[in-house]
Amino acid sequence: MATQGTVCGMDGPAALSTALRRGTLEFCVLALMEDGEQYGVELVRRLGAERTLTTSEGTLYPLLARLRRAGRVATVWRESPSGPPRRYYALTPDGHAALKVFRTEWSAFRDTVDRIVGTRAR
Amino acid sequence: MNTNVTAHDALVDNYLRAVGQALTGVPAYRRDELLQDLREHIAAGRAELGEDETEAEVRSLLDQLGDPAEVAAEARIDTGPTPPPLLQLQPSKRIGAAVWVLIALGLCAMLCVGALLVGLFAVSRSTVDGKTPAPAPVVSAMHS
């Protein structure tokens, strides 16, 4: 760990990534389930490999738990041909609705930031 | 059978214990839920490795899961006084709280005015009856 100040969110690239992930990562998780239910371990591995989005696989489980409690995803256990039973995650109607709202909000948000900061794609 | 399985189990147990310890202060049901999720993840990974898993493979599985403190910190996010950040909910909840405070203040004011009026009424009646205005009726009026 770098010996940065930890007083606020303005103290370095790590803090910036954390701040940017807040509020966006959960919708990336929801989007991965949009086309159908996903095996939890696979989901976590896929996202865990995206280093701009996550720091590690383990940090995704508390997020999945929050989404379950918020009623945005539902889970079901299925037998596995090899190994222990598998937990599958799927979007609830609430989850679908939340993702739809996010898409609208995000497009407007991204456009505004790009315009003001000067990061519009060419 | 791999003779090192018990040693690998110990690695996993140590990891889970470290996460558990880092989770102090997090409600028990959430701590158990997270530990269960991690246990399942590890079990699934080890099932894929099969019986001839190596210590390096098990360590790599745990490394991928990440630093126990970091995982626990993520679970701590919604243990604070504010509920999880789920977009639109926050502002309306705050407005809701403000409305309730106003309603409570209004009720308090009405009760005070009411008690005062009842008290004044009782005092004026007892004065009309030719008795000295004693505080007792006022007190009983406020209790009724």
Query: Taking a C-beta distance cutoff of 8 angstroms, is the pair A57, A67 a contact?
Result: no
CB contact under 8 A, A58 and B19: yes
A59 and chain B in contact, CB less than 8 A: yes
Query: Taking a C-beta distance cutoff of 8 angstroms, is the pair A30, A95 a contact?
Result: yes
Euclidean distance between the first and final Cα of chain A, in Å? 36
B32 and chain A in contact, CB less than 8 A: no
CB contact under 8 A, A98 and B87: yes
Q: What is the DSSP letter of A7?
A: S
- Closest partner residue to A65 among B30, B48, B85, by Cβ? B30
Residue ranges for chain A with pLDDT beneath 50: 1-7, 9
Q: What is the DSSP letter of B130?
A: T
Q: How many CB pairs under 8 A join A and B?
A: 79
CB contact under 8 A, A101 and B88: yes
Per-residue pLDDT of chain B (144 residues; tens, 9 = 90+): 556 889 999 999 999 999 999 999 899 999 999 999 999 999 999 999 998 999 999 999 999 999 999 999 999 886 654 444 455 444 455 566 666 777 778 787 888 777 777 777 776 776 555 444 445 444 444 454
- Closest partner residue to B64 among A56, A80, A87, by Cβ? A56
Query: Taking a C-beta distance cutoff of 8 angstroms, is the pair A47, B74 a contact?
Result: no
CB contact under 8 A, A101 and B34: no
- Measured between alpha carbons, how far is A95 from A30 in angstroms, rounded to an integer? 7
B13 and chain A in contact, CB less than 8 A: no
Kindly report the average pLDDT of chain A as a whole number. Answer: 89
Which residues on chain A are in Cβ contact (under 8 Å) with B19?
A: 58
- Closest partner residue to A62 among B40, B43, B75, by Cβ? B75
Strands of the sheet with A38-39, listed across from one edge: A38-39, A86-91, A73-78
What ipTM was estimated for this complex? 0.84
A9 and chain B in contact, CB less than 8 A: no
Whole-number pLDDT of residue B83: 47
Whole-number pLDDT of residue B38: 97
Nearest CA in chain B to A62: B75
